[in-house]
Amino acid sequence: MSKLYSNELKALVAVENVLEMSAILQDHCMTVQRFDYDCERERNSSGETYGPTNPVVLEFTIRVNDPADARPFYSYLASNSHFQLSFLFNATFNDNKRLKDYEDGMVVDGYVVSIDEDYSASKNELANDEQMLLTVKVLLLNTTYLGIERNYKSIFIHH
């Protein structure tokens, strides 16, 4: 039985830094199906962090309607250069389909280390016959957590 994946924008990813570019277009965003990462630091007996952050791999799965939308990920994998991604949660867009607001999010800087593709025979909202799920693994350099009213905190990851 095939699955129909939602296009609800509870979580989305854009291959741009939302802190540097506030006019992100809705068409440049992809729906996040799932993401997983574990960012840990050592803590002393008082609970304060110390020492470097351990290397972190962020793994996320997005639904891609058009294979051309996946090009940036393959490009960064082939070039072996770091890039930035913005994950935004509960984002809203204005009438011009530009980012209006978001509840919270994070901007990650890292290297693509692997990409897996999974094709589905179900139909998406555009009635295309095929959807592609792209699972991307990124070795993180740093993570900036975005909060309400654009408050943010950066965590730098040492390798």
Q: Is residue 43, in this structure, part of any structural domain at all?
A: no
Q: Where are the beta strands (DSSP E) in 10-157?
A: 11-14, 29-36, 42-43, 49-50, 57-64, 83-89, 92-93, 99-101, 104-120, 131-146, 152-156
% the chain with pLDDT above 70:
77
Q: Is residue 2, in this structure, part of any structural domain at all?
A: no
Q: Which domain holds residue 78?
A: 11-34+53-156
Which carries the bigger pLDDT value, residue 116 or residue 152? 116
CATH of the domain at 59: 2.30.110
For the chain, the helix, strand and coil percentages under 3-state DSSP, each to the nearest 5: 10, 50, 40
Number of domains in the chain: 1
Q: Is residue 132, in this structure, part of any structural domain at all?
A: yes
Q: Is residue 47, in this structure, part of any structural domain at all?
A: no
Quote the pLDDT of residue 145.
85
Mean local confidence (pLDDT), 58-70: 86
Quote the pLDDT of residue 129.
54
Q: Is residue 120, in this structure, part of any structural domain at all?
A: yes
